[in-house]
Structure 1
Amino acid sequence: MRHTLEELLAGWITHQRWFAGKGRAITELAVEAATTLPLRGPAESFHSDVAGSCGTTDRRRPPTDDRVTVRHLVITVRQDARTDRYQLLIGFRPELPQRLKHVAIGETPDGHAYDAVHDAEVTGLLLSGIASGADIGGLRFRHMPGIEIDTALRSLVLGAEQSNTSLVFGDAYICKLFRKIVPGVNPELEVVSALAERGSPNIAKPYGWIETDIGGENTTLAFTQEFLPTASDGWALALTSVRDLYGSLPGTTAAEAGGDFAAESTRLGMATAHLHKELAAAFTTSTVEAPEVKRMVEGFRRRLEAAISEVPGLAEHAGVAHEAFDRLADTGRPITVQRVHGDYHLGQVMRTPGEWVVLDFEGEPGQPLQERRALDSPLRDVAGMLRSFDYAARHLLADHPEAKELEPLAAEWAQRNRAAFIAGYSAGGGRIHGDDAVLLRALELSKAAYEVVYEARNRPSWLPIPLAAFSHDLS
């Protein structure tokens, strides 16, 4: 039985990792915009209105079946009073080859529909469009000035992402498709482009992007950057260090273990301080005056009380948090704010042979775009990284038979690397002295209260990790 594409998508989308409306029934799904993308012909067949196109020759290999079509869709999904937009790349074939059976959507009057981001025979059109500066229907493909793009590279979908889909082309480019679309320029494109103009060594080189107009606003659909095939993920490096410590001989300290991470934590702190200085230079800065700081503290208190109402066990730690909040409210001094990363942790940084590189400047995907672009204290990023060190040290202890014996080592590793990161941040020009330390402590405990709720909902065995934040000092 054949169904309309909308009917098939309504059933299919609820099973996708990037779908934000899981657990709620879909009341309506509609196609807001549909653009058929060209699969054949040289790059010159793309109509370009962009001066200075790099003129890269299109060396894509077209699909073996000339009856294949690909459509770019913007759909709206209504779930009761909530409506969200999503971006899809849907392919249609008379028959699906075995390699695409796992991404089948269903049979339509136009053929078998499937998620075409997994089809390396057709995804090259994204690179070709960016390379040529194409305009296709309502879609605009753009590239950075003076760059060259190899359009012959085949793509592979990265499987770890939750809210977006990224395609890696060869070992050269990574193209992130923002699945849930919010009208406006995505902060990642905005921030990375600005930092690239300043020659920042702490970002992956930007190559281009895809955009369209939604609700009268220029809206980012995808962003392509340099892929870093020889870089190591910060979270993975930290876990290697923790495992090395846990496997060491009895009596071995974190400083003595072969996989000591402290030197890298120091370098990461310095890179973070440099990044914050570049962000302050590239964008505007402002000041939050003392009365507004007090209102910010009241927001911390409300979120803490909401967390306690959901996780009553947090109540015994509330005094520690309120004391930190009181100290911040009593400082009576303004706070300097600027553009920040907004979702900073070990999983957002990569160690290349020469430097730490920071990824994913889009902020918390679930937050409104205005909040993700808002100015904030750079110490919010610092607090996020400090929480990440705690998680790296302790999450392996969840359900571990020797957790009690290993806990002192976890605490030592976390404190050592937290202190090293802060030392590096200070050495790089970041300030964490006096009232700065008071603000940092309040930000970290507010973050920990959020984590308590998250773990209670999703990973109850991890609850001890954020709860431990209420017992240790800043350093």
Structure 2
Amino acid sequence: MPISSDQLVDFLKKCRWFAGKARQVVLASVIQQIPFGEATIWIVEVGYEEGDTERYQLPVISVSEMPGFSTAQTLILEVDGRYLVDAIYTETFRYNLYTHIYNAESYGEPTARMAFVRGKGLEAEDLPEHISTRVLPVDSSNSALVFGEKYFLKLYRKLFQLPNPEVEMIEFLTEHSDFRQMPAFCGSMTLKSLGQPDITLGMMQRMVDAQKDNWDRTGDYLNDFLYAVPNRVFSIQEDVFERVGLLGRRTGEMHRALYNPEADATFSPEPFTADYRKFLQGRLNHLLESRYNLLIDKYRALDEQTQALAWKFMEAKELIDEFAEELLSRDIHSQRIRIHGDYHLGQVLNVQNDFIVIDFEGEPEASIADRKVKHSPLKDVAGMVRSYHYAVSAKLFESDETRYLEPTKLLKVTERWYKLIRDTYLDGYTEAIGWPHPLFKDQNEINSLMLYYLLEKAVYELGYELSYRPDWVKIPLKGIVDVIREVEKLHG
């Protein structure tokens, strides 16, 4: 069925996964069509009034009756009694995906074909004549399909002109390591067009039966602490330390698995080259400049305590510049590897008294190329440490139980909890990594790099809070000020 740009735009705006809702769309068109059984995979290009175009995956199929499970984002077009629908809502399309991954088949013409890969996570059993399939009603930037209540396929909607970093990471860990604390790689689907980079269309993994992510579970742990604070009681249950230490160990095991000198160039470790140090310097300078300007614009709207933290940050500009310049201009003997890249409590699921790490796509605001840059694994560690700081700060600052406590006192209490948890997590991490380890030269270099990545992460967070949650601005600012104090100690 032919479709106009306006019709396509109207449909896209109904879809949860369409990332361009807040932008002014000027054009949407189907730039490539790949037949797949009774369906067709459309590659849709969307142009905006400002900024770069985007590409999306839209599987379509023409049916005589609407699928039993239909939503506003099911029907694309109705013409002459037939319905053009998003094919994921038809069992025929879903089963076809499963069988092609199971058989590792390719489909299409030499000029444009879909290549299917089967991974270790897909059990070695006979291909069932029928397997239950369903669409998960998730509010996400991708679509989620379930097969036999065992396997989970993430169909990537927004497409990138490079293989998806998440698929690379999950496939590598499943196929080339003993690390099992993530949903195992079961297969993938990739668009291969003549003369063009491969484009990842989807990835299948083992399903995980998780009750909560670790952000929510940490919030539960914090309740006991929260209720005791107004009574001047400092209370942390022993099992909290055990869980935090276990997460530190699992993080260390993940990084040990990603350290593989025998791997190809995509995953082999690399030194801190001059180009990488230049990349870090440019990123930090950009973050600092944008945050300083935003902080100046928003300063008068901040409360007194937050203004005091903001002043310390702005007054330390020269010190921060000197610290970064000194660190990044000297020889660094630690190594870099592929890392998770967006590591925080919300990316860890609680499963049977253990942890499963998810969402290896990398930092959402970064380009796909930047998400594949190798970093010190301490960047992941810093992300999780900052997440614990957020967890306790958000809990205590936002709760009725602590509303009437003096802000300065509340800040001190959160710091005590945070530092105990931070040290427990880091102890678990160090235990799992082992010492010495080729990833790290010595403790002095670890300390300096950790300060750098903590600073970078907190400055990154500051931009979001200034723009969307002004009441939370004090959280990243406190993280920045903590780093400044440590740098001041180094400069003696």
Q: What TM-score range do you get, normalising by the shorter chain?
A: 0.7 to 0.9
Matches within 5 A, 1:263-412: 263-281=242-260, 282=263, 283-289=267-273, 293=277, 296-297=280-281, 299-312=283-296, 313=299, 314=310, 316-320=312-316, 323-324=319-320, 326-331=322-327, 332-334=330-332, 335-353=334-352, 355-397=354-396, 399-401=398-400, 402-403=402-403, 405=405, 407-412=411-416
CA change 1:241–1:24 in 2 (3 A) is: same
Per-residue CA distance 1:81-124 (angstroms, 9 max, x = gap)? 52211111234433435631433444333733333434556423
Matches within 5 A, 1:118-267: 118-119=89-90, 122-137=93-108, 138-144=113-119, 147-148=124-125, 152-161=131-140, 163-196=141-174, 197-214=176-193, 216-230=196-210, 232-248=212-228, 250-256=231-237, 261-267=240-246
Query: In the alignment, which of 56, 67, 73 is matched to residue 103 of structure 1?
Result: 73
Letter matched to residue 181 of structure 1: L
Per-residue CA distance 1:41-85 (angstroms, 9 max, x = gap)? xxxxxxxxxxxxxxxxxxxxxxxxxxxx64321111112452211
Letter matched to residue 186 of structure 1: N
CA change 1:253–1:118 in 2 (3 A) is: farther
2:17 counterpart residue number: 18
> Residue 5 of structure 2 contacts residue 27 of structure 2 at CA under 8 Å; is this kept in 1?
no
> Residue 131 of structure 2 contacts residue 148 of structure 2 at CA under 8 Å; is this kept in 1?
no
2:307 counterpart residue number: none
Letter matched to residue 366 of structure 2: Q
> Residue 55 of structure 2 contacts residue 160 of structure 2 at CA under 8 Å; is this kept in 1?
yes
Q: CA deviation at 1:36?
A: 4.1
CA change 1:213–1:427 in 2 (3 A) is: same
Letter matched to residue 427 of structure 1: E
SS in 2 for 1:344: coil
Per-residue CA distance 1:174-216 (angstroms, 9 max, x = gap)? 1111111112222222222222222222332111111112452
Please say if 1:75 is aligned against 2:44.
yes
Gaps spanning 5+ residues in structure 1: where? 39-68
Q: Structure 2-normalised TM-score?
A: 0.80
Q: CA deviation at 1:383?
A: 1.1
Gaps spanning 5+ residues in structure 2: where? 300-309, 435-439, 487-492
CA change 1:429–1:452 in 2 (3 A) is: same
CA RMSD of aligned residues (A): 3.0
| CA distance, structure 1, for counterparts of residue 317 and residue 97 of structure 2 | 49
| CA distance, structure 1, for counterparts of residue 28 and residue 274 of structure 2 | 47
Query: In the alignment, which of 421, 426, 444 is matched to residue 425 of structure 2?
Result: 421
Aligned residues: 441
> Residue 254 of structure 1 contacts residue 412 of structure 1 at CA under 8 Å; is this kept in 2?
no
| CA distance, structure 2, for counterparts of residue 290 and residue 135 of structure 1 | 42
Q: CA deviation at 1:306?
A: 1.3
Letter matched to residue 276 of structure 1: H
